[in-house]
Every structure is written in C-alpha cells, then in structure tokens.
Amino acid sequence: MTANATSGAPQAVAALDAVSVRRYTTGQVILDDITWNVYAGQHWALLGANGAGKTTVLRLIGALMHPTTGTVDVLGHRLGRVDMRELRAHIGLVSSAQKVPLDATAHTVVLTGHTGTVQPLWRKYDAEVRERADALLAELEIKELAERPYGVCSGGQRARILVARALMADPSLLLLDEPFNALDLPSREDLIDALHRLATTRPALTTITVTHHLEELSPAIGHVLLLKEGRVLTSGAAEDVLTAEQMTRCFGRPIEVSRHEGRWLARSGRGTPTAAQ
C-alpha cells in the first residue's frame, strides 16, 4: 500500500483537513478544527501541554481511530474508505506503552514487527525475515542484545528495540509517541543519536515525534506543530515555531528558548505568565 500519485503537487504522507474529535459519552471536544499536512521525508515534532490532544492526533494518523468530523488521509488513503488493519501494517509506531513479552529476546521482539503481533508467529519468519531483524538491530547499534530478554534490557535499549521492531515493515511513516519517557540522560542521548542516523540514512522516511521536552528533539527535526487545548496554535519550520513567544503562548508561562549545534533547550523564564492570545 503506497500513497496515490498526484501530478503537479507533492503528495502528503498524512493530511488532516478540518478534523475534530469529540468524546461521544460526554461531548468533550478533544480536537477542534485541525488542518495539517506532513510530506515525505519531513521530520515533525508535536508539542503541547498535557491534554492538548497530541496523542489523539497521533492515533488518527496511525489509523487507530476515526475523526468525528473532517477528513484524515494517510499514505494516500482516506480513513473510512480503507481497511484500517491493512493501513496500519504500513505505519511504524513506537510507544513506551506498547505491550511486549518481557521474556522474549530482543531479536524475537523485532521479528514480531513483521507480523504486527505481540506474540511471535514463528511460521511467518523465514531466513530472509530473520536476517532483516538482525540487520535492524545492527542499524540501531544494539546487535549485542539479540539474545537478551527484553525484560532485563534498560529503558534506552528497549526504546531502540521498539524502533527496530517498527522498521520491520519498512514503513514510509514512523510515529514516535513519547519514546523518551522515563529514560536517563545517556539512554536519551543514545536514542536521539539513533533517530538522527535514521533521518540521515533513510531520506524517504517521514517521522512524527510526540514529546514534552525540546531537549529530546534530534537535529533532524525540521518542523514543529504546537497544540493548545485541542487546536493548532502554530506550525511550520522549527526555527519559526520554537520561539520564546510561541512557546510561552503554548504553555501559558514565560519560557526561554535557545539552540546549540542543532539541539533545542527550553527553560522557564522570569516574569508573570502571559495570557493566551
């Protein structure tokens, strides 16, 4: 399954048009009139306070749910007109909340990415598939973990194992939902380095990363979407969006932003919170 070709204009890998999501039981508005396009080879960060709707946006693009109103197109296919399970097979997803058998080896966990299952389906894994799992572990620089049980791997090692698992289907779109959750500093930096290498060695790969901290963004992140209370506050090139003014508006308190060698840093500024504009 690939994106449908459209002559004249670049094809969006993911496109949300006037998308809203409401909770049926309470009528609560989760997302309100979201319009956003992501193109091949772009690397986006999705930022906002808790409850801003970041994970819901990722679930829409990951073909895990439908919008209440508006349209969502992923890899050239519109949700509601495509088999969601088939579409999900072409999207890589990494989340610290993923269920993985703790006694399975790292190699086995990566193999399950081929079938999109929690438990391994051994008859589906021929020599070529197994070799691909080996190659991905090497690409993420964790080949030495191949026979180590997932449950005894560190948080950073688990995160890279999950990235390798997500790449087993050779997706053109990789979604990362708070992949740095609970990682210590060395593990965080190892994962950032790994994601930066992927962006360099896989120029056609598109990534969207949900995070709370600018320090977790790799230098490959070129675009940012800021969400506030379920609405798009602003989006565009990282250097235009990651400013003190925009971050202060997004999080409702003074924030100072700096950049060093392609890496971003945000910290609380002085003064009184700025009212939402």
CATH 3.40.50.300 fits 1-90+171-277, yes or no: yes
Please, are residues 142 and 157 in contact by the beta-carbon 8 Å criterion?
yes
The Cα 60–Cα 13 span in angstroms is 13
Q: What is the tens place of the pLDDT at every residue in 172-192?
A: 999 999 999 889 999 999 999
Strands (E), 7-88: 12-22, 29-39, 43-47, 69-74, 77-78
Residue 64, amino acid: L
The runs of H, that is alpha helices, within 127-261 are 127-139, 155-167, 185-201, 238-241, 244-251
User: What confidence category does residue 5 fall into, taking pLDDT thresholds of 50, 70 and 90?
Assistant: very low
pTM of the model: 0.89
Give the mean pLDDT of 196-205.
Answer: 93
Judged against a pLDDT cut of 90, whether residue 2 lies above it is answered with: no
Cα-based angle 93, 96, 100 (whole degrees, multiple of 5): 85
Judged against a pLDDT cut of 50, whether residue 7 lies above it is answered with: no
pLDDT at 24: 78
The runs of H, that is alpha helices, within 140-184 are 155-167
Please, are residues 102 and 150 in contact by the beta-carbon 8 Å criterion?
yes
Q: What residue spans define the domains of the chain?
A: 1-90+171-277, 100-169
Query: What value does the mean pLDDT of the chain take?
Result: 91
Q: What is the tens place of the pLDDT at every residue in 77-119?
A: 999 999 998 999 899 999 877 888 999 999 999 999 999 888 9
